[in-house]
Structure 1
Amino acid sequence: MNPLPLKALPTGALRQTLRTHREGPVLTVELNTPEPGNTVTDALLDDLLAVLEDQDPAVRVVVLSARGDDFCLGGDRGEFSRQLAHDPTGGGIRLSGTKARRVCDVLTANPAVTIARVHGKAIGAGLALALACDLRVGAEDATFRLPELALGLPTAWGGLLPRLISEVGAARVRELVLTGRAFTAAEAHSLSILQRVVPAHELDAAVADWARPIVRRPPAALRVTKTLLNSLSHASRLADVSALDGELMAAVVTESQRARGLV
């Protein structure tokens, strides 16, 4: 049984790509397009922004979870193709990149503590969404991968690369990015991508173990402490150029398509 039973919000509980549930100060935001593996689309980014930027100040914990077999299989490459067909200069991709950065920033800077509940596969943009959260718990059989380079894309989505280097270290990140190999939850834990790994059936209990003491913390102290932690983390990123993620993605994708004669 879930130690934190969730009830649907009376309004706005079901969006195009998300389901939201709330129990007191705990808000769960669930990715809700399981058939394509909860791939990241503009619609998903819009829904996440709508929920997170209009969040009730009484919320102390936000849990980011996902429905289906996988947490998130990354960006929707079909949408990239449609965006390029509509605007061969890459304007749509740049706009999506800006939204991705806003979503990850609002997760990180959220006044509530954000918890990623990861199961199945977390690939590319899916890993970025999880990494933007304060706390991350994964199922023992969860797997992770950064396949962008093999797909002809830069690792430039939502500020993923500077966050990874800050949390993991440049040498280890370089190996993961250049090889694009899959890695396990156990390795993700050793790299500090996950702070905890549990059997899949214990994910809800692990989230509750974290949420229970957090919701008892004085709100002002919680907000200030989060701000301090984020400020110190940002200070360690000597050259965070992730504001250019959208431009970099658009430039590489449009050049690749031109080389193939597709635009």
Structure 2
Amino acid sequence: MTALPRTAFGDDRILKTLRIHRQGPVLTIELNVPEQGNTVTDAMLDDLLAVLADQDASVQVVVLTGAGDDFCLGGDRGEFAQHLAHDPTGSGIRMSGTKARRVCDALTSNPAVTIARIHGKAVGAGLALALACDLRVGAEDATFRLPELALGLPTAWGGLLPRLISEAGAARVRELILTGRAFTAQEAQSLSILQKTVPAQELDAAVTAWAKPIVRRPPAALRVTKTLLNSLTASTRLADASVLDPELMAAVVAELHHARRTG
């Protein structure tokens, strides 16, 4: 495996899984483990938390994208297995799930407008990261999938389920989760998972078209408007049990692991 370039960030810290680029008020965060499909690991969650926590106040747009052929192929199942080998009760998975929720909350509540730039495949946790963003544009040949149930896992990562139901509607989400089928960018747009689809070569232009007017908005008005939108969206949910995501994931995975060992 070719060694990945490492990015210095802030003081003496090193980002092992991300590449970041700042151009004026626009900050681009690139998931940068292409040979692994940008799968989400604890190291990636730590890097994302570090970048988002130290984000400069003058940033008005944050773009989330992925290196290589795919946006993100979901969570790293190999790391799940390592967590269970270390502690079969699922404490490592619980800790990882808590980080995932913090990352997704940091994207949603970010004072800047967050834009997901999606190409290739967005699977499971990758789709959750995209849904945590305010605006989402996808390449016309991008595909999406929620495979958790087929893997013996609940759809409980980073607050994915309430966000998905809020955007796409319960009936359609139920079908996508229970079947685990892949769906196209065009269907994702019809479900409001994407707000726009464009040819792959026009993704950067689509992001720029959104970012240009946003960076001209008065920062205070932009922050307040985004806070209002988030508050009103949250108020439409009768209940948001995603705070229990880490516990649910840990409990189900630990039970499945135990059944496989004793069965």
Q: TM-score range by the shorter chain?
A: over 0.9
How far residue 237 of structure 1 moved from its aligned partner, in angstroms, is: 1.1
Residue deviations 1:123-164 (CA, integer Å, cap 9, x gap) = 000000000000000000000000000000000000000000
Structure 2 distance, partners of 1:9, 1:91, is 31
TM-aligned CA deviation for residue 82 of structure 1:
0.2
Q: Secondary structure at the match of 1:97?
A: helix
Shift in Å at residue 258 of structure 1?
A: 0.6
Partner in structure 2 of residue 208 of structure 1: 208
- Inter-partner Cα distance in structure 1 for 2:47 and 2:32: 11
Pairs within 5 Å for 1:134-145: 134-145=134-145
1:5 is aligned to none
Distance across 2 between alignment mates of 1:59 and 1:175? 38
Instruction: Determine the C-alpha separation between the residues in 2 that align with 1:223 and 1:35.
Output: 37
Residue 32 of structure 2: aligned partner: 32
Per the alignment, in what secondary structure is the counterpart of residue 238 of structure 2? coil
Kindly tell me the number of residue pairs found equivalent between the two proteins: 256
- Please give the alpha-carbon distance, in whole angstroms, between the structure 2 residues aligned to 1:207 and 1:16: 25
Letter in 1 for 2:138: G
Distance 1:9 1:250, change over 3 A: closer
| Aligned CA distance change for structure 1 residues 199 and 251 (closer, same or farther; 3 Å) | same
Pair 85,180 (structure 1): closer, same or farther in 2 beyond 3 Å: same
Amino acid at match of 2:183: F
Structure 2 match to 1:4: none
Q: Deviations over 1:41-99 (max 9, x none)?
A: 00000000000011000000000011000000000000000001111110000000000
Q: Report what 2:73 is aligned to.
A: 73
1: distance between equivalents of 2:174 and 2:140? 24
Shift of 1:19: 0.3
TM-score (norm 2): 0.95
Please give the secondary structure, in 2, of the residue aligned with 1:220: helix
Give CA deviations for 1:96-135 in whole Å, capped at 9, x if unaligned. Answer: 0000000000000000000000000000000000000000
User: Where do residues 104-253 of structure 1 align in structure 2 (5 Å cutoff)?
Assistant: 104-253=104-253
Once residues 52 and 214 of structure 2 are traced to their aligned partners in structure 1, the CA distance between those partners, rounded to angstroms, is 19
Structure-1 separation of matches of 2:128 and 2:172 = 16
For 2:61, the aligned partner's letter is V
Unaligned runs of 5+ residues in structure 1 are: 1-7
CA–CA separation in structure 2 for the residues paired with 1:225 and 1:9: 33
Query: What is the aligned-residue RMSD (CA, Å)?
Result: 1.5
Q: After the TM superposition, which parts of structure 1 deviate over 3 Å for at least 4 consecutive aligned residues?
A: 8-14
CA contact (8 A) 2:8 2:15 kept: no
Distance, in Å, in 1 between the alignment partners of 2:89 and 2:236 is 35
| Equivalent residue, structure 2, for 1:103 | 103
Structure 1 Cα separation of the partners of residues 236 and 137 of structure 2 = 24
Deviation at 1:240, TM superposition (A): 0.3
**C-alpha distance in 2 between matches for 1:25 and 1:212:** 10
Structure 1 letter corresponding to 2:32: N
5+ unaligned residues in a row in structure 2: which ranges?
Answer: 1-6
Q: What TM-score comes out, normalization by structure 1 length?
A: 0.95
CA contact (8 A) 1:119 1:142 kept: yes
Whether the 8 Å contact between 1:149 and 1:180 is mirrored in structure 2 is yes
Question: What residue in structure 2 maps to residue 3 of structure 1?
Answer: none
